Amino acid sequence: MLKIDRLTKSFKSRNAVNAIGLDIPEGQMVGIIGRSGAGKSTLLRMLNRLAEPTSGRIVFDGRDITALRGRDLLAWRATCAMVFQQFNLVGRLDVITNVMAGRLYHHNFVASMLQLFDDEDRARAIRALDRLGMAHTALQQADTLSGGQMQRVAIARALVQEPRILLADEPIASLDPLNAKIVMDALSAINREDGITVICNLHTLDTARSYCDRIIGLADGNLVFDGAPRDLTEAKAREIYGAESEEAFSEGLTSTTIGKPLPAAAMIAARPQYALGAAQ
């Protein structure tokens, strides 16, 4: 259980995130929606402590995360892996090295500096890549990949961290609809098969509706909706998106373009690479 208690982040006199309180049970797939500037990224960045809260607390399995320092903080960052809109791969390094970088959280500083990855790290990286349908690119330089492929590699890098929570900050905002679907399907498969909690900032409403168990709506740093997709009325959604409504309503992965997410079993049948241990 992840408990967020009156979490606030102020920039000068303005609260980018304003006293947000949420209880997120293990294994939930949560979509955070809201227009640009609503506070979505700031909230995610506080969760993995990339941004320091001004006040409030984050508690995971009874442990206060807000107070962690040093090694404990690094361990927490491994526990809640993050993927970004711009992928954040090292373009001149090959794909497998990018993925193994996710293992650095599990090694000491000297090993990290020398990039000493062992066979187990390599095997783990290949398994993660294979799950995302990307094992064949392992030795390719990362900057030769398409955007959709880069995001799948970034998800593989997050997976080798062995996270309990996967934070995704607009992971499909730079992708075309087909790649957006592949990436959302992958996040959904990870959520269902591994029981990893996924918290995903999404700009478009239909994607959140199609994939998430729960939708959190933010507006000007405030929590303005928290519920199941079916409870989010059109009027409420328009209030959340305000002037950006048309964009948010029209550019999503609509059900006509992608259909509903497949049940996990059907998804594995359709894409065997998503099954755990498929690489072995």
Ligand X SMILES: Nc1ncnc2c1ncn2[C@@H]1O[C@H](COP(=O)(O)OP(=O)(O)O)[C@@H](O)[C@H]1O
Q: What residue ranges in 79-206 does DSSP mark as E strands? A: 80-84, 165-169, 197-201
Q: Compute how many residues bind ligand X; rule: CB under 6 A.
A: 10
Q: Please report where in the chains the tokens 């962690």 appear, as a residue.
A: 68
Beta carbon of residue 16, minimum distance to ligand X (angstroms, whole number): 3
Phi and psi angles of residue 226, each rounded to the nearest 5 degrees, phi first: -150, 105
11 binds ligand X (CB under 6 A): yes
Instruction: Scan residues 35-74 and list those touching Mg ion (CB under 5 A).
Output: 40-41
Contact 226, 22 (CB under 8 A): yes
Which residues does 21 contact at the CB level (< 8 Å), separation at least 6?
4, 5, 6, 7, 223
The CB-of-2 to ligand X minimum distance in angstroms stands at 18
Least separation in angstroms between residue 170's CB and ligand X is 8
Tokens 């408990």 belong to which residue? 3
Window 67 to 86, contacts with ligand X (CB under 6 A): none
Minimum Å distance from CB 44 to ligand X?
8
Nearest one of 137, 152, 187, 192 to 167, comparing CA atoms: 187
- Binding flags for Mg ion, 23-42, as an x/- string (CB under 5 A): -----------------xx-
Residue 39 interacts with ligand X (CB under 6 A)?
Answer: yes
Q: Which is nearer to Mg ion, 38 or 145 (CB)?
A: 38
Please answer whether residues 140 and 152 qualify as being in contact, where contact means their C-beta atoms are separated by less than 8 angstroms.
no
Q: Which residues here bind ligand X, judged by CB under 6 A?
A: 11, 16, 34, 36-42
